[in-house]
């Protein structure tokens, strides 16, 4: 049982954190794609997460936190390896076999995996229709968003599906480990553990980049300022703001509710594309948007209806 209750946290802080994982996190897919034009994949992961981890650890140290607490590091480092390194590696490998639209649908399954693996909350999550209906409806809504361009994998693509789902499962298990174990090693408003998660993942990416030759082949001086600007956005907004918000929300809110970002991110991506990219929203996509919003309301109201209880 998490000792912290969301009722003790400012509503504005909770709302800002959800904005980060709903909207800002959804925008990082675009910036990752742009940054990959200038950086090899593992180099990008190494630079991004190492820089974000160091900055967050320095900030935590300036606040007087025990940055080198051994108990916290023993838990946070494996969490970073599972959630950030393993998950991102699976996504990059799967991209060789499956389409981006199928990736978007499979990524939404994170919501389902998190709920299914959260055995401690089965009795609460499945005691009435709201959460199951929200899970099914949200996934159906995401499918409708990408139905017009969705291509099913061939026999080789099946490998990509399995790899990608493995990454989503790793993310879900890592999230639950953070909620029920990592959160016990530091305060709800402490950031050292999150910093070590990102720093450990960044080092792992750099080691793979060095072993694969990516690090040596990278022409650092030839990278234009646009490439560094994309990395800066990913470090500041994608990692320090969004990922840190995600970990903080896991400490104070139910995991199933926090995992709703998996349904919200595709919704935000479609809306941003329509508003700023001139993309047309098809009738099936409008239906998908409505279904996703209704599903989010179902799930979130289910949890907020008992907000006075302690988060578990």
* pLDDT value for 154: 60
Query: Quick one: pLDDT at residue 207?
Result: 96
Q: Which two tokens stand for residue 157?
A: 């693509």
Q: How far apart are the first and last CA of the chain?
A: 5
Rg of the chain in Å (alpha carbons): 19
Residue with tokens 């904005």: 19
In order of 12, 123, 160, 254, the CA distances from 130 in angstroms are 26, 13, 32, 15
Determine the average pLDDT of the residues in 152-164. 73
Average confidence (pLDDT) over 3-29: 79
Q: Find which of 4-18, 94-108, 129-143, 198-212 is predicted with most confidence, using mean pLDDT.
A: 198-212
Higher-confidence position of 230 and 158: 230
pLDDT tier for residue 25 given thresholds of 50, 70 and 90: confident
Residues 255, 110 contacting (CB under 8 angstroms): no
Report, as an integer, the average pLDDT of 12-19: 92
Average pLDDT over residues 86-108: 79
pLDDT in tens, 239-288: 999 999 999 999 888 898 899 998 888 887 777 777 776 778 888 888 98
Query: 84 near 49, Cβ under 8 Å?
Result: yes
Cα(210)–Cα(202) distance, rounded to whole angstroms?
12
pTM of the model: 0.85
């Amino acid at each position: 049982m998490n000792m912290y209750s969301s009722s003790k946290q400012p509503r504005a802080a909770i709302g800002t954190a959800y904005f980060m994982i709903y909207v800002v996190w959804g925008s990082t897919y675009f910036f990752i794609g742009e940054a990959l034009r200038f950086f090899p994949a593992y180099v990008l992961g190494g630079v991004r997460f190492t820089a974000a981890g160091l900055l967050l650890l320095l900030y935590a140290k300036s606040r007087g936190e025990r940055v080198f607490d051994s108990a916290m590091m023993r838990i946070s480092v494996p969490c970073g390896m599972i959630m950030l390194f393993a998950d991102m590696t699976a996504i990059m490998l799967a991209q060789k076999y499956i389409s981006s639209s199928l990736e978007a649908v499979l990524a939404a399954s994170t919501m389902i995996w998190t709920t299914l693996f959260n055995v401690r909350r089965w009795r609460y999550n499945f005691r009435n229709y709201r959460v199951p209906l929200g899970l099914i409806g949200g996934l159906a809504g995401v499918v409708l968003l990408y139905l017009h361009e969705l291509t099913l994998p061939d026999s080789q693509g099946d490998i990509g599906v399995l790899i990608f789902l493995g990454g989503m499962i790793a993310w879900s298990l890592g999230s639950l480990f953070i909620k029920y174990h990592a959160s016990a090693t530091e305060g709800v408003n402490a950031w050292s553990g999150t910093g070590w998660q990102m720093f450990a993942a960044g080092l792992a990416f750099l080691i793979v980049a060095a072993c694969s030759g990516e690090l040596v082949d990278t022409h650092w001086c030839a990278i234009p300022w646009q490439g560094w600007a994309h990395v800066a956005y990913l470090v500041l907004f994608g990692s320090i703001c969004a990922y840190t918000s995600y970990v903080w929300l896991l400490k104070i809110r139910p995991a199933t509710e926090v995992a709703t970002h998996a349904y919200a991110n595709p919704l935000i991506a479609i809306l941003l594309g329509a508003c700023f990219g001139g993309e047309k929203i098809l009738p099936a996509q409008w239906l998908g948007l409505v279904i996703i919003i209704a599903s989010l309301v179902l799930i979130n109201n289910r949890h907020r209806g008992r907000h006075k209880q302690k988060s578990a």
